[in-house]
Structures are given as C-alpha cells and as structure tokens.
Structure 1
Amino acid sequence: MDKRKWQQYLHIFSNNNLGVIGVGILVIYLFIAIFAPLIAPFDPTLRIGTPFSPPSGDHLLGTNDVGQDILSELIYGTRISILIGIIAAFFSIAIGCLVGIIAGYYGGKVDTFLMRVVDLVLVIPFLPLMILLAAFIGPSFWNIIFVISILTWAGPARVIRSQVLTVKTKGYVEAAKAIGTKISIILKKHILPGVVPIALSQFVLAASQAILIEASLSFLGLGDPFNKSWGTVLYYAQARGAFLTDAWVWWILPPGLLITLLVIGFAFTGYSMEEILDPRLRKGR
C-alpha cells in the first residue's frame, strides 16, 4: 500500500473521536507498563504494610492479605496483562492470516477444507474448551498464550479470507496471473498490501479478547502463579476473603475497572479502524 493511502487513513482516523479516545487510553496503559518500576511506589513482592489495610496516604489502594501494596501490584500487573494480550494476538492473527490467505487465494478443495476447520473451531463451546485445555497443559506464561492463540485464530481467518477473495479478483492481480508472475510475488506485492489493514484492525480486537481470556483464566486459578496480572490479583482477592470484608472495594474493584477500561480502549481503536477501512460504515455513521 502506498504512502498516500496510509496518510488518508491517518487523516480519517484523526477525525474519529472514538478512535482518538481509544488510542489515548492505550498510550496511557503502555506508558504505565513500560515505566512500571519508576511509577510503582513499592516492590509488589515485598510485605510493606499491615495485612488488609484500607487505602491511606502511604498505600493509596491499601494492602492485600499479606501486606503487599495493591497499587504496586496493579501497576506491575499492567505489564503482564498487556504483554500476554499483544503476544497472543500476534500469534492468533499470524495463524489466521496464514489460513485465510491460503484458503482465499487457492480456493477449491483447499478453501473448502480450511473453512470446515474454521467452522469446527468456531462451533466448539469456547469456555469449557478453554478451561479444559488450560488445566491440561498447566499454568504458565507461554501456556496461556498458546491456549488463547489456538482458540481465537478462526475468526480472523474468516475475515482475512473474505478480503483475499475481494483482492484477488482485481484487474491488476488477474493481469499478474496472466503474464505468469510467480505466486510469491503476487502475494507479496498485491495480496498482502490489501490484507495488512484488515489484519491490523483484527489484531487490535484480538488483543482485547486475549486480555479478557487471560483475566478469566487467572481468576479461575489457571494463570501463571509467578507473574501477577490483573486476573491473578482478582484470583487471590477472591480466594482470600476479600468478598467477605470491605477489602473488595480496594482489592477487587480497581483491577476490574482497569480491565474494563483497557478493553474499551482496544474496542474503540479496533472498531474505528474497521470504520476507516470500510467506507460503507463511514457513510452510515
């Protein structure tokens, strides 16, 4: 895709209020994740206060059941949650692009077979399979990423395939085929440029979904016990009696709000990107 096209997309995006808000939210979260050691008031692994201390000047969100600063836990947890979301979304979109491009470009029996696989993945009950798979392979950072990637690639694959079917019927692609251009060159110069914008919007939405899945698995006790994410904070809060005391106000509510706000940021950004890429959505706004 040429530079002028990207500039056009950027101009449209800058005039999209939801998109600007979404990007602003993501920038703030990324800043917190990158500079967590400088922002966090304490080391989240150290006991620095009285257990179940309410919010105060020393501990703005109080302490947990062992005296660790909850605000510091959440700041460092931003790193883990976002990192898992981005890496899992990358692998999910990579698999989806591979399947979608092969199915859409070659068509025929290849397309039929791959789309039946996609249909199978989409119709399998998601939540039971996610819990079963995560429990079977065990809790760890990379196992969570594997579970999320293997369960979320089918949706993007279907979207990418539809885009490839549209692009490959263009005149310049047909002309390239007619003169005997190698498939690798056609894919690189014609198919991929038409797929990348759609893949980017799917990546943003996949990252949002991955963060929710990670939080759900961690809340159920299937997350990485050595890396505290927001979901892990919720798990320990639920397991150690936060709901039975007033501690839920500062121990459970903040991570829940952080997850919600981040998902909203990804959703605003992703939907705005889809609107930019599809003129019909802009006209119907």
Structure 2
Amino acid sequence: MTTSLEKSDPQKPDDESLPGKPGTVPGDSPRALARARRRQAALRFWRQYRTHRAGLVGLAVLAVIALLALTAPLLVGADSQSVTNAPGGPMEAPSSEFPLGTDQFGRSLLALMLWGTRVSLTVGLLAAFLSVAIGTLIGITAGHFKGWYATVIMRVTDWFLVMPTLVLAIALATVLSRSIWTTILAIGVTTWPTTARLVRAQTLSVESRPYIERSRALGGGHRHIMSRHVLPNVMPLVLAQTTLVISTAILTEATLAFLGLSDPTIVSWGGLLQDAREAGAVSSGNWWYLAPPGLAIAVVALAFTLCGRAIESVLNPKLGVSR
C-alpha cells in the first residue's frame, strides 16, 4: 500500500519531467529537433561528399579563389586599376616586379587578375541565382498545375532551349545599357530553361506520391503543397544545378566582355582578354597578356563543374558518377 509520504516524495522524478519525454525539456522542442536533423543531414552530406576526390579538389580551388577575391583590396589596393598612375611600361614581360607582366597601359596584370576575380565570381553567382530561381519557379508551377498553363509555359521553354543562349544574351546586352547588372540580367533570363525542364520532371515525380493525395484530402492548397512538399524534394536537384549554372554564367560573362558588351570601366577576366585582343597581343606574341585570364576562366569553370558533379552524385547515388 502506498503511503502519503511516498506520493509526495520530492526525490522521486515525475514521469512527465523525464528527459526522454519530448516537449518537456527546452532542447527537445520541435524547432530544436528540426535544427538537430538539419545538422545531422549536413554532416551526412559532408561525409559522403569528401569521398569524391574531384569534388574536394574543386572545392579547395574555389576556396582559394574566393579568398583572393575577398582580400584583393588589401593585397593590391584600389589604385592598381588606375590608368593614369600605372607603375610600369606598356606590355612588359613577366619580371620580379610584375610576375604576370603588364597590360597595354602599364598596369600590373596580377593586380588586375585579382580585381577581375571579384567581378567574374559576382556575376557568375548572381546570374546563376537568377537563372535557377526562374527555372525553379516555372518548373514547379508547370508540374503542379498542368493543363493549358503547363502546355503554354513549356512551349515557351522549348523556344528558349532551341535558341542559342549566347545569341539571346548578346541581343539583350546590346539593347540595354552596358553595366554589370545588364550582364547578370542577360545571363539569368536566357539560361533558365534547362533548370525548368529538370525541376518540372522532378515535380511530376513528387506529386505522384501518395502523401500528396493525403495532403490534398486534408485540405492542403496549391501553395502549401508546392512550398511544403514539392520544393523540399526538388531542392537537392536545384542545388546541384546551381553549381553547374555558375560555371556557364562565368563563361558567358567572359564571352560578353570579350565581345565588348560589358561595362568597359569594370575589370573582369573577359575584359582583360578583350583588352589583349585590342592591343594586338595575339599577333605580337605577348602570351602573358592572354594566358592568365584565359586559364583563370577555365580553372574556375572546371572547379564549379567538379563540385556540381560531386554534389549531384551525393544527392542522387543512382547516377553513379565516378569519384
């Protein structure tokens, strides 16, 4: 028989205050559990990602380039872009003072390369974000609503797919004013169709699953289904596609700058190639004027591609991408 003393014993823990009971300890709140799941998912992703040697190489290269871009003002200073205060002679060969030589105005190519890193990475990231955002929005809505809306929007997507992306970007850059934002807009609004196609296919696959029908039966609207069920399931594909689009955006920006369709007052890798062409570096054999920006564009594009392929392999092991 239980006595009244045993019932009121302060030493005896109550069942509802045990740490194992969810919701009784502040750390076990739904928000904390969600954060813990996200941390575990991130750690699991990193463990799988680091098994891809090519992906690690690409990530290391991007980390170094991003560090150089962030520290460019400290390493070379803003006056290194000035034409009037150039420290060297025009198109000098590499030396101890100028490791990569000088351009046609006598500016250090190494300093210009560091400043160009900031512009090329900024344009690549922002243009890729715009492109993927447009493609994701169109892909999810086309896969969700179907009917006449999907038919019309996918025919427009097909038209963009068959049209050369570079030609459309050149047309936009020619019509609009020359600025870095025009370049970003021209790249972003012409490179989204591939993302839209991929996201629509994934959306159709997700919406055929039984829990989508249960959500509709429980009163879930279009916005709820697309934001809470479809979007989280297509995000891995979107993430992998973003890294691949960045490399395309950097190459397109370099092409537009080489054609003279970007802001001439901003130093970028493509702009340096355009300056080298105008200065006759090809005919005069001044390889140091051409090689650094060209190699930088190729290395960054390759690094983003390696990272994208590794991410795609981790998020979708069925692809069987070689490590």
Range class of TM-score, shorter chain: over 0.9
Percent identity reads: 37
Corresponding residue for residue 165 of structure 1: 204
Alignment CA distance shift 1:274-1:132 (3 Å): same
Higher mean C-alpha deviation, range 140-149 or range 43-52: 43-52
Provide the rounded CA distance (Å) in 1 between the counterparts of 2:179 and 2:288: 27
Alignment of 1:69-108 (within 5 A): 69-108=108-147
Alignment of 1:60-209 (within 5 A): 60-209=99-248
Provide the rounded CA distance (Å) in 2 between the counterparts of 1:228 and 1:80: 7
| Amino acid in structure 1 at the alignment position of 2:222 | I
Higher mean C-alpha deviation, range 170-179 or range 274-283: 274-283
Structure 1 residue 127: Cα displacement: 3.2
| Amino acid in structure 2 at the alignment position of 1:16 | H
Structure 2 runs not aligned, ≥5 long: 1-33
In the alignment, structure 1 residue 255 sits paired with structure 2 residue 280: no
Partner SS, residue 61 of structure 1 = coil
Structure 1 residue 28: Cα displacement: 1.1
In the alignment, structure 1 residue 267 sits paired with structure 2 residue 267: no
After superposition, give the CA deviation of every residue in 1:171-214 in whole Å (9 maximum; x if it has no partner): 22221111111322222221111111111111111111000000
Structure 1 residue 277: Cα displacement: 1.9
Provide the rounded CA distance (Å) in 2 between the counterparts of 1:22 and 1:142: 27
Corresponding residue for residue 278 of structure 1: 316
Contact 1:104 1:111 in 2 (8 A): yes
Higher mean C-alpha deviation, range 91-100 or range 14-23: 14-23
Contact 2:55 2:307 in 1 (8 A): yes
> 2:80 is matched with which residue: 26, 43, 54?
43
- How many aligned positions are there? 284
Higher mean C-alpha deviation, range 88-97 or range 102-111: 102-111
Provide the rounded CA distance (Å) in 2 between the counterparts of 1:106 and 1:196: 19
Structure 1 runs not aligned, ≥5 long: none
Which one has the largest radius of gyration?
Answer: 2
Provide the rounded CA distance (Å) in 2 between the counterparts of 1:188 and 1:136: 36
Provide the rounded CA distance (Å) in 2 between the counterparts of 1:85 and 1:128: 18
Provide the rounded CA distance (Å) in 1 between the counterparts of 2:257 and 2:321: 41
Query: Which structure is richer in relative contact order (CA contacts within 8 A, separation 6 or more)?
Result: 1
Contact 1:138 1:222 in 2 (8 A): no
| Amino acid in structure 2 at the alignment position of 1:191 | V
> TM-score w.r.t. structure 1 length?
0.94
Provide the rounded CA distance (Å) in 2 between the counterparts of 1:185 and 1:6: 25
Provide the rounded CA distance (Å) in 1 between the counterparts of 2:120 and 2:166: 19
> 2:55 is matched with which residue: 3, 7, 19?
19
Provide the rounded CA distance (Å) in 2 between the counterparts of 1:26 and 1:8: 22
Contact 1:122 1:154 in 2 (8 A): yes
RMSD over aligned Cα atoms: 1.7
Structure 1 residue 283: Cα displacement: 7.7
Provide the rounded CA distance (Å) in 2 between the counterparts of 1:22 and 1:109: 43
Higher mean C-alpha deviation, range 224-233 or range 106-115: 106-115
Structure 1 residue 87: Cα displacement: 0.5
After superposition, give the CA deviation of every residue in 1:153-183 in whole Å (9 maximum; x if it has no partner): 1111111111111111222222111111132
